Amino acid sequence: MHRGARPGKLERGWLAPGGVAAALAVGAAVAWGYGWRGLVVLFAFFLSGSLLTQLAERRAPRRTARQVIANGGVAAVAAWLGAWPAAVGAIAAATADTWATELGAFSPIAPRLITTGARVTRGASGGITALGTIGGVAGAAVIAALAQLVRPRGAAPGSAALIAAAGVAGMLGDSLLGATVQAKYECPTCDARFESGNRVCHEPVRLTRGWRWLDNDGVNLAATLVGAAVAALGSRH
Ligand SMILES: [Zn+2]
């Protein structure tokens, strides 16, 4: 492909070099655990997320290893350990969160904080819209249906409804943590808000809320853990 032709398009939704290595590691762990069945589910997450990012025409920076691990690390470990419901529950959570974010960008109504209902700027962590939430539920349902379709023989039984619920629980957990304990920063001069601590606006940004060590990647990782836990615990009954 001619790299110079459409630089914006080629960069969008793609992976940074470290992200490629991390994605290969996640793919290898999932393949080792569940072969093509696991890869089909993982690929559905990756492909749908990339397509929606393009649809939203968001100039997302290329994903780093940290971001790939935050979204796929829990699924990789679960697949490697042979825990099918946990693995697909984690992927359902990552998918729900991605679809909610990308489809929520089309919401005509400004997002509101999941905790207090206060209006927040678009893309702010912890903010939810009706459209994004419906999109997230649809994303979890698609992964759940697909996971049920390719479910390996002998995997712990779990209904598609359970996997979808696990994905939605992960998405809600993501919003709750994003609204409460995720680190938020402000420029001391102009009050512009940031979600990353190593930014300089008029001067270096200052922590105004949350835990300094918990950034968006940490929250994503926690959300996939919630998805994995709900699916694993639910499939035991
Ligand atoms: Zn400023």
Give me the pLDDT at residue 20, please: 92
Tokens for 233, please give them: 């615990």
**With contact defined as beta carbons under 8 Å apart, do 212 and 183 qualify?**
yes
For ligand 1, the distance from its centroid to the CA atom of residue 208, given in whole angstroms, is 14
190 CA to centre of ligand 1 in angstroms? 4
Range of the domain at 176: 7-234
Computed over every residue of the chain, the mean pLDDT equals 91
- All residues with CB under 5 Å from ion ligand 1: 187, 189-190, 192, 201-202
Task: Answer whether residue 1 is part of any domain.
Answer: no
Residue 196 alpha carbon to ligand 1 centre in Å: 14
The per-residue pLDDT for range 58-106, each reduced to its tens digit, is 777 788 999 999 999 999 999 999 999 999 999 999 999 999 999 999 9
* CA angle, 76 then 214 then 191, to 5°: 140
Residue 167 lies in a domain: yes
Q: Does 2 reside within a domain?
A: no
Does residue 82 sit within a domain?
A: yes
Ligand 1 mean position to 195 CA, how many Å? 14
Q: Is the pLDDT reported for residue 187 higher than 80?
A: yes
Q: Which tokens is 84 given? A: 């099918």
Q: How confident is the model at residue 237 (pLDDT cuts 50, 70, 90)?
A: low
To which residue do tokens 């409804």 refer? 161
Q: Which of 53-67, 77-91, 132-146, 221-235 has the lowest mean pLDDT?
A: 53-67
Res 42: pLDDT: 97
pTM, entire model? 0.91
The tally of domains found in the chain comes to: 1
Mean pLDDT of all residues in 142-151: 96
Query: Would residue 125 count as lying in a domain?
Result: yes
Give tens-digit pLDDT for 110-129: 999 999 999 998 888 999 99
- At residue 101, φ and ψ (nearest 5 deg) are -65, -50
**pLDDT tens track for 194-214:** 998 988 999 999 999 999 999
